[in-house]
Amino acid sequence: MKNGISDPTDFVDFKINIKIKLAFLWTSLMFCYVYGDYFLLYAPNKVEGLISGENNLNTPFKLFTATLVLVIPALMVCLSVLLKPKVNRVLNMVFGVVYTLIMLLIAFTSLSYWKSFYVFLAIVESIITSIIVWKAFKWPKNS
């Protein structure tokens, strides 16, 4: 736009509702989680460990805990759209901080040559969850 006149060659940039932005961020996070866990299967001895039971999730408690850890971001995809703003904002900030800390912990405890992709994804996931916290914190108010 020049001098108050719109240029017909400019692209339209639609305003996206904060709920939709948060849902897409949680969705992106879930894709990173799934790809990271999938690619981890290609690390040496990983599949053999799954078959023999020599892995990190070798008890019902550990498997259930992992399920709980992953179900929250999956639910946040739809909850970010369905919940009222006040509760929505709080849950996005709380879970965003929690999952940022979890991913940073994973990044620092997974430093090895074969897990460099996993560390990279953990850093990307930390960035995504930090953006979630920031967007929720800056939730637009009625004017």
Mind giving me the DSSP string for 100-120? HHHHHHHHHH--SSTTHHHHH
pLDDT at 115: 83
**Considering the domain boundaries, does residue 37 fall inside one?**
yes
**Considering the domain boundaries, does residue 1 fall inside one?**
no
Question: Looking at the predicted structure, is the pLDDT value of residue 47 above 70?
Answer: yes
Question: Looking at the predicted structure, is the pLDDT value of residue 6 above 80?
Answer: no
According to DSSP, the residues that pair with 2 across neighbouring strands are 5
Q: What are phi and psi of 17, to 5 degrees?
A: -60, 140
CA 112 to chain centre: 22
**Considering the domain boundaries, does residue 2 fall inside one?**
no
pLDDT at 79: 98
**Considering the domain boundaries, does residue 31 fall inside one?**
yes
| Total domain count, the chain | 1
pTM above 0.85, yes or no: yes
**pLDDT by residue (tens digit) across 53-84?**
787 788 889 889 999 999 999 999 999 999 99
pLDDT band for position 132 (50/70/90)? very high
- Which residue type is seen at 136? A
What domain range includes position 22? 18-137
Q: In whole angstroms, what is the distance from residue 133 CA to residue 122 CA?
A: 16
**Considering the domain boundaries, does residue 103 fall inside one?**
yes
Question: Looking at the predicted structure, is the pLDDT value of residue 122 above 70?
Answer: yes
**Considering the domain boundaries, does residue 89 fall inside one?**
yes
Question: Looking at the predicted structure, is the pLDDT value of residue 113 above 70?
Answer: yes
**Considering the domain boundaries, does residue 4 fall inside one?**
no
Q: In whole angstroms, what is the distance from residue 55 CA to residue 59 CA?
A: 9
Q: What is the mean pLDDT of residues 26-36?
A: 95
**Considering the domain boundaries, does residue 143 fall inside one?**
no
